[in-house]
Amino acid sequence: MTEEMELICFQLIANSGAAKSCFVEAIQAAKKGLFEDAKAKLVEAEEAFVEAHKIHAELIQKEASGEKTEFSLLFMHAEDQMASTEIVQLLAQELIELYRDKHAQ
């Protein structure tokens, strides 16, 4: 694996991980009824996840233009982190709405 590809993998992992942490913090804030804090954490999470998606899109564009992407355990881990973050993102949105409804009663 090239040094450049390692860096790309670590950027994907770091940005996805930061986003996932913020999504979880948003859920925790909503659970306490702190919906402004939850909203702020969602914004922070989205910013980090968008950055991960930009990096990922660049890889896809390179491969589409004929440049092979090196596959490794590290790259597989980066892909897995992105996928799991997407699941946490969807669950965060749903759980925050549920907590909003619960706190409105």
Cβ atoms of 22 and 45 within 8 Å: the answer is: yes
Would you give the distance in Å from CA 8 to the centre of its chain?
A: 15
Residue 49 has pLDDT above 90, yes or no: yes
Residue 36 has pLDDT above 90, yes or no: yes
Residue among 48, 49, 71, 47 at smallest CA distance from 59? 71
Taking residues 6-17, what's their average pLDDT?
A: 98
The secondary structure of the chain in percent helix, strand, coil, rounded to multiples of 5, reads: 85, 0, 15
pLDDT in the model for residue 70? 85
CA distances from 31 to 20, 28, 82, 99 (A): 17, 5, 25, 6
Taking residues 49-59, what's their average pLDDT?
A: 97
Residue 105 has pLDDT above 90, yes or no: no
| Per-chain mean pLDDT for the chain | 97
Task: Write out the CATH class of domain 3-104.
Answer: mainly alpha
Taking residues 21-29, what's their average pLDDT?
A: 99
Where in the sequence numbering do the catalytic residues fall? 77
pLDDT in the model for residue 20? 99
